[in-house]
Each structure stands twice: as C-alpha cells, then as structure tokens.
Amino acid sequence: MADERTMFDNLAEEINSMDDISEEVKQKLLANIMKAKDQPVNLLITGPTGCGKSSTINAMFNMEVAKVGVGVDPETTDIQDYQLGNLKIYDSPGLGDGKERDIAHAKKITELLHRRDSDGNALIDLVLVIVDGSTRDLGTTYELIENVIIPSLGEERHKRLLIAVNQADVAMKGKHWDSVNCRPDSVLTDFLNDKVRSIRERILANTGVHVDPIFYSAGYKEEGQAQTPPYNLSKLMLYILRAIPPKKRLVVIEQSNQNQDMWRKSDELEDYQREIKKSLSESVCEGVAKGSDIGGNIGGTIGGIFGSVGEKVGRVVGSVVGGVVGFVGGLLGGIFG
C-alpha cells in the first residue's frame, strides 16, 4: 500500500480534532486507541480438505495469502500461519486425510489450543471450523469438533468455537442457487437452515456445547475468470467479531478485505451490526464511562457524559471503520448518524 496510514492513525487523528471534549477525555480515548491497536488476535481456521479454508481467508482478509486448491490433493498438509499486522491466522487441515495424517493433525490442533500467552490466557481467541456444505458426509468434521477441538477448549469451550457451513451455492448441487442475485432461493435456504439446525442439535447432544452455525459461500475464482462473489461473508465476519473479546475487534477489522464486492451479498445483519458497533465505540470509550475516573472531573452525570462522548466517538469510529469495511461502517454511520 502506498498510503502508510493505518485505520488506527485515522482514528487517532479524528479523535484529536474533536474540539468539544476535554483534554483529559481525549488523552484517555487516544490511549484506548493505542491499546486497541496493540491487541494480538489469533484465529484458528480448520476443516476438511477442500472445504474452503484458503478461499475464506483470501476473501475475508487484506491480501491473497492462502493458496486455493485446484486438484484433489489437500493443499494444506500442515498448519500454516499468516501474520497480518497483529492478526495471526492459523490455517490447519482437519481430519479425513488418512489415519496417520489425522493423528498428526489432531495432535497439532490440540497443542495449539492448549497454548497460553504470556498472561496465561488461551492463545487462540477463536476456532472457526468450516464445514463443506456440498457434502452429506460430515463424519470427519464431527469427529474433529467433538473429539479434538471441544475437549481442548477447556472452560472457554462455550465461547471459542464457531462453525460455518461454506459452499452454500453448491449445497444442492448448485440447484436452487439464484446466480443472478447471488443468493439461495427459498428451497435452498430451507435446506441450509435444516443443515445448521442439525449440526447444532447434534453437537449439543454429544458434547453439551451450544454452537450457532451459519451458512455462507466464500465464492470462487477460476483461472482467467472473474471472481464469483461471496455470499454472507459479512455475516461470517460479524460472527467472528462478536465471538472475540470486544477490545480485539478493531485489529480484525483493520485487516479485512477492502474490496467491497466481498461484503455486499448478505442476509439481514442489523442485530449483529448494532452489537458490533456498540462494542467498537465502547472499546474506544473504555474507562471514560467509569464516572470516578474522568466523569467526576467534568462534573456532569456519568450517564450524560458517557452518552454524549460515547455518541460522538461512535460517530467517529463509524466513519473511520466505514472507510475500511463498508458494510460495518455504512451501518455504523446509519445507526449513529
């Protein structure tokens, strides 16, 4: 990129130029932005060969990092990692590549999930298991989730796991996919909803863990042809943002694919968008709301101060984030503005 300015620089500049907040509040907000910028985020993306891990990573994030498979052989035979700023993405094969490989993969995933950072917290913020929506046989996927991942998640097992069914477009062999509008028709929508419901029920029954899978399509690109746009990728992004700690969300947004075509086609997202928007401005306002800290000095009521600073900061966050990922920002603008 020719422009070296980051989303965080833009945020800081906008906050700096706000002339209707006290210097003290301003310094606190700037410190929060610096803190948000420094948050390490670690995502593990896994799933069986060909489910679309690489395609998903490439569609969601800021560069062509992962090689997309073209043949029948697994492209990813070992855990790969991609460092994008403070965001690290681990791309790991799932199960189903033969007994010996499966054991090796399971061992590596288990190790990774047990790893702790220097504060003693789990290193991996979130595991995203990608399910191949075009196949009926989910045996190895369930094995991976139930016997490898969930037992390794410890106390955080209810929070650190996300399941997403990819290739929604070819889930019924491509029938019922409305390729003009790039979305499933009602028959395919029912089919996909049934699929995520059955995954949810099965995992709850077998492990007691409640997951809330979504379906999407990472889209695909064939040599010399235009990219078929993703579907529900913004929903997947919001799911990821919602599942990681609020203070880490800006780092992920900063690394998101800036090609807005990736984010356009999606189910309604309003509820998630509202929630994400709130968490983003809260992470920048952190501490400002706690009356004794700064509110007392200004002399207003705590609610009033948070309300007004929060609202102003929300608008700033909305416009800056909107410059990076339109679907978050446009919506932020809409709600704040």
Ligand X SMILES: Nc1nc2c(ncn2[C@@H]2O[C@H](COP(=O)(O)OP(=O)(O)OP(=O)(O)O)[C@@H](O)[C@H]2O)c(=O)[nH]1
What residues make contact with ligand X under the rule CB under 6 A?
A: 47, 49-55, 68-70, 74-76, 93, 166-167, 169-170, 217-220
Q: Is 32 an interacting residue with respect to Mg ion (CB under 5 A)?
A: no
Provide the minimum distance between the beta carbon of 107 and Mg ion in the complex, in angstroms, as a whole number.
19
Q: Which is nearer to Mg ion, 53 or 312 (CB)?
A: 53
Q: Is 14 an interacting residue with respect to Mg ion (CB under 5 A)?
A: no
Using the 8-state DSSP alphabet, how is residue 122 labeled? B
Q: Which is nearer to ligand X, 100 or 119 (CB)?
A: 100
Interface with Mg ion (CB under 5 A), residue from 32, 46, 54, 134: 54
Contact (Cβ atoms closer than 8 angstroms) between residue 69 and residue 54 = yes
Alpha carbons within 13 angstroms on the beta-carbon side of residue 187 total 9
42 binds, among Mg ion, ligand X, none (CB under 5 to 8 A by kind): none
Which residues, listed in sequence order, are joined to residue 130 by a DSSP beta bridge? 164
Interface with Mg ion (CB under 5 A), residue from 32, 39, 49, 76: 76
Q: Which is nearer to ligand X, 94 or 310 (CB)?
A: 94
Displacement of CA 319 from its chain's centroid (Å): 20
Distance between CA 82 and CA 87 in Å, rounded?
8
Give DSSP secondary structure letters for 22-83.
-HHHHHHHHHHHHHHHT--EEEEEEESTTSSHHHHHHHHBSS--SPPP-SSS-S--S-EEEE
Single-letter residue type at 12: A
Q: Is 80 an interacting residue with respect to Mg ion (CB under 5 A)?
A: no
Interface with Mg ion (CB under 5 A), residue from 53, 160, 183, 247: 53
Interface with Mg ion (CB under 5 A), residue from 9, 10, 12, 75: 75
Positions touching Mg ion (CB under 5 A) are 53-54, 75-76
